[in-house]
Structure 1
Amino acid sequence: MSRSIRVLHVDDDEALLDLTKTMLEREHDSMVVETETDAHEALSKLDGDATYDCIVSDYDMPGMDGLTFLSAVQERHHDLPFILFTGKGSEEIASRAISAGVTEYLQKGGGTDRYLVLANRIDNAVAKYRAERERRKSRERYRALIEYSSDSVAILDAEGVFQYVSPAAEGILGYPPEELVGTSSFEYVHPDDRESVKTAFRECLDDPSVRPTATYRFEHGDGTWHVLESRAANRRDDPAVEGFVVNTRDVTEQHEAKQQLREERELFDAALDALPDTFYISHPDGTAWRWNQALQDLMGYTEQEMRELPPEQFFAEEDRERIASVIEEVHAGETVVYEARVLTKSGETVPKRLSATMLTDDDGEPMALCGIGVDTDLSPEGVD
């Protein structure tokens, strides 16, 4: 069911008002026409609770002519469609009407076909008015959402130039939004990261379904380099946006924490690899997790093979029952020192004195088994 179109027709000729109302409502079954013979009274209706989708007005009226009426309507509703439907036509009036911002200018007369033309003009003007109003509301809703976001939200054009920047940007990027608008977003990206960021942007430009995420260094307003993470969406076809929406957050602290963790892990791995004895950390079920190079060299397996083998495969068959028992004891909270024969990939058995203990979290829940293995002078027959 189509929405009704409410029209306010103002003309000092009552007979013409009645005829126009009849013809318009006959031509357009969803059109509702209200009439008024006095422009001042029409303005009172606009100032009240009544709402209209279009104004149709004569030009030559006592007390207030059509263009003065148009100006008064524009003060109240600047974008409300206004059609000047007059019998007093001239190039001068038409020019003045167009300059004043009238939506349509149409002369009376020409038989009943003129009312069909008027109905079509009203219909088109209202459709455009409603579409623009919805577009404006959508923009306002969208702006309200992004302005209250804790992330920086920017809209870029196809060249990567800032068209809009949310208030949160100043706290994240270090620049007032108005300083960024009109500048290229790529100018602030570290030279070593710029090409990768541009590549991600081009992917989004070429395929609107792609929503790339980029992590890069950005020159903050204080002159330092901050690590940012941005996610872009191509919304060029959305009339409420008409650009690329880029959500950005500062991940400098997380990046530095990861870097520190990476460095600590590298140091830990280097320390483990420097041990002459074998060292291992396994999951609570005994499957391999981390180990040092001495253990991998002894076993002869690749890293992938080490991860995929069940724990019993690392030991001679006659020691596997003991290994299962050790795992149970460790789960019971004991630290176990035992001797067993390690079975290498080549089939060689190497006697080792091993230790095993359970690492737990703050709640006492098992996290991992860890231990160390040292050479033993015991012969295979002397192994317990």
Structure 2
Amino acid sequence: MPFAVYVLGLAVFAQGTSEFMLSGLVSGIAEDLQVSIPAAGLLTSAFAVGMVVGAPLMALFSRTWPRRRALLIFLTVFVAAHVVGALTPGYEVLLATRIVGALANAGFWAVALVAAVSMVEPAARARATSVVVGGVTVACVVGVPAGALLGEHLGWRSAFWAVALVSVPALLAIVTSVPDDRPRVTAPTGASVAGTGTPTVRAELRSLTGRRVLLTLLTMALVQGATFGAFSYLEPLATRVTGLGAGWVPALLALFGVGSLVGVTVSGRVADARRSAFVLAGMVSLMVGWIALALGAVSPAAVVALVFVQGMLAFGTGSAMISQVFHLAPGAPTLGGSFAAAAFNIGAAAGPWLGGLTIDAGLGFRSPVWVSAVLMGLALIVAGVIRLVRSPQFTKATVA
């Protein structure tokens, strides 16, 4: 695996830490900037929206740039946004920096995924994808708890400074390790000839709007919605249903992150051989696991075991699905990663929202886990439709 792929994973680690660390900094931000807790919570929502909108827009904006230049520009803007955020005395400026940082993060994600798979042989694309996505899982294990610890002892601004500082080595390494290739866009009439350039925007969008690709993106959003729907409410589930003490919560979050890291590592090594079977098995296992967690939430042993297993399954399956998008849409070499990143973040935003609705409705703290099980059931239905769409009988019927 090229060293540059691991460099991209390091940068994604810093960005993943920024995306999720605010859950432990909300109270400090609200007190310091004299805003309400819900207003401080909007900083997380602003980042998620910026990721969803920014992924395709930034990919379109930068599609003709050399990949090294694009990565450096996006990461530099991301660092600058965190420096400004750490210095600002006002909530409005901090909110703006979260949006700008998310747009830069989205652009980096889109280019990084494409750059990673372009630096390896086709048989190693799932492994390259897993290294990049693995940055997020390491952020869950190390970055997010460290950010919360910094916020508690040195103030929330120190966490922003830390994210900017961790990004600097990635900036320097990108300069020396990522190839300075420039995508060449072909004439507007269609896709490029192999080795002569990248397809036009119209050709890439045509590749990404095929039935199987759109259904795969929908499936990915549902899987991630299930993952983050349950993960976001793990603390009240563990403390109010399972009966674990508050001191267990950081350990459970770290355990979920360790499972995630194991999942992307395994996925990267085995998913390339039988990607579709791997994804289907992971989805079925995830649904069974969420049901088991909802039913067994009163058992500490069951919760501890299932938190690890579900983290492993969720991120292992998710990273394999990202590589599946590139496999299904080879005609979208510059926009494929952005659509995958957008689907990932749509699920990350929708899952917690749906889980919160069930809690507000008085259905208890197990209800988000049941929502996750339902979302996985819907994902399996969509996966069944995908298999139907690719069947020869369906193709013949459509043509007829």
Bin of the TM-score, shorter chain as denominator length: under 0.3
Higher helix share: 2
Rg comparison, structure with higher value: 1
Question: Taking CA–CA contacts closer than 8 Å with sequence separation of 6 or more, which of the two structures ends up with the larger relative contact order?
Answer: 2
Give the TM-score of the pair, scaled to structure 2: 0.20
Length-normalised TM-score, structure 1: 0.21
